[in-house]
A = this chain, B = another copy of it.
C-alpha cells in the first residue's frame, strides 16, 4: 500500500442553511477543497451521505455531485453508513489511493437536514436503527441513547451533572472555530438548566439537526502538496456491531469502536498514548464517554473522569472535540466523518487558534453510524 496524503480540505459553514440546497453545499465544499486548476487530476469522487433520498429527494448522489461540481465523467459513488457515511467515504478514498486504484481521490461529505419539519428528520435518522425491533416501537436515536446513558449512570453510580464537561468543552472550542454552528460558550449552570429531551439526555447532551458539507482531497504524490505542512493518513480501521442495541451482550461496550481503533492504531504503528487529539463522535455525551473507554483512553466506567478532571480540553491528556465536535461544530450526519478529518488537519497544521492543541502531531478521528453499529477510525499524522 502507498502513502496517502491530505492535499486539500474545504467546507461550508455548519448550521441551518434555509436558503441553500444540497447542491449548493456540495459545490461550495468541493470548490473550497479543490483549486479549479487541479480539477482534472481527480480520478474518483466518493460521496458520504445518509439521507439525500429521504430529505432532499435525490439519489445517485455520486454522479450528481460530480456533475454539479464540474468534475466531468469522473467515477463517482455514494457511500452510506448512517451517521458514519462521511467516515466510510473517507476510508474508501484512503483505500483507493493507498492501493493505487486512484492517484487523486476527492471525498465529499454532505447532508441537508433542515428542509423538513423536525419530526421528519427524526424519522429519517431513525432509519439507521433496527427497523424490526427499535423503529417499530418508536425508539428514536435520542431515546436509544437515553437508555444507554441511564444504564451507564446506574452501573457506574454517576450523576447527570457529571457529564456537563463534554458540552462545556465542545462549546468553548467551537467559539474559536469560524465555521462552527454554536460559537458561544456554555457553563455547568447552563447545562443544569437545559431542557430535557429524553431523560436523562438534555439539550446540551445532544448535537443539533443542521446542514453542511466538507471535502478532502487525497493523493499519493507528496510533491503535489505545495508548501502546506505534510499530513499523512497513517491508519484506517472499520468494523460493525449488531444493528439493535438490545442484541448486544453489553450495551455499554462499543465493540466496533474497539475493533476499528485497534486496526487503525495497528496500521499506524501507534498506541492510544501516542494520540495528541481525538475527534470522536459526540452526537450525545454518552457516546463520547463510551468511545473514550472503547478506544483505550480510559478503563471501563472511567471515561467520565477524563471530563471531570479537565483532561479533555486542548491542553488536557486526551483533547476531544477540539473544534467544537458534533455537539457544537455541528453534526450534518453524512458530512460529519469528513468534517472530523478537516478539524484534525487544522490542528495538525497549527491553525486551530484559541483551541489549538500544543504540538499536535498525531490525531485520531472516529465516526459512528447507528448506536455503534458501524464505526470508522482514522489516524492522521503531521510530517516534517
Contact code string A8-43 (vs B, CB < 8 Å = 1, else 0): 000000000000000100000000000000000000
A-B contact pairs, 17 of them (CB 8 A): A53-B124, A58-B127, A59-B127, A60-B80, A60-B127, A60-B128, A60-B243, A60-B373, A63-B82, A67-B240, A74-B239, A75-B240, A76-B374, A79-B79, A79-B80, A95-B96, A99-B99
Q: Are A60 and B79 within 8 A (Cβ)?
A: no
A residues in contact (CB < 8 Å) with B: 1, 23, 44, 50-51, 53-54, 56-64, 66-67, 73-82, 88, 92, 95-96, 98-101, 124, 127-128, 130-132, 135, 238-244, 247, 255-256, 259, 369-370, 373-374
Q: Are A369 and B127 within 8 A (Cβ)?
A: no
Q: Which chain B residues border A53 with CB–CB below 8 Å?
A: 51, 53-54, 124, 127
Give chain B nearest CB distance to A130 CB in angstroms. Answer: 7
Q: Are A81 and B77 within 8 A (Cβ)?
A: yes
Q: Are A63 and B81 within 8 A (Cβ)?
A: yes
A96 closest partner in B (C-beta): B95
The A interface is mostly helix, strand or loop, or mixed, namely mixed
Q: Which chain B residues border A60 with CB–CB below 8 Å?
A: 80-82, 127-128, 243, 369-370, 373-374
Q: Which chain B residues border A101 with CB–CB below 8 Å?
A: 1, 95, 98-99
Q: Are B259 and A63 within 8 A (Cβ)?
A: no
Q: Which chain B residues border A241 with CB–CB below 8 Å?
A: 63, 67, 73
One complex includes copies of this chain to the number of: 2
**CA of A77 to CA of B374 in the docked complex: distance in angstroms?**
8
Q: Which chain B residues border A127 with CB–CB below 8 Å?
A: 53, 57-60
Q: Which chain B residues border A82 with CB–CB below 8 Å?
A: 59-60, 63
**CA of A135 to CA of B58 in the docked complex: distance in angstroms?**
9
Q: Which chain B residues border A131 with CB–CB below 8 Å?
A: 56-58
A123 closest partner in B (C-beta): B57
Q: Are A59 and B73 within 8 A (Cβ)?
A: no
Q: Which chain B residues border A256 with CB–CB below 8 Å?
A: 73
Q: Which chain B residues border A135 with CB–CB below 8 Å?
A: 57
Known: A57-B135, A63-B370. A73 touches B128 (CB 8 A): no
Q: Which chain B residues border A80 with CB–CB below 8 Å?
A: 59-62, 77-80
A52 closest partner in B (C-beta): B127
Q: Are B81 and A78 within 8 A (Cβ)?
A: yes
Known: A127-B60, A241-B63. A73 touches B255 (CB 8 A): yes
Closest 5 CB pairs of A and B: A99-B99, A60-B82, A59-B127, A75-B238, A63-B373
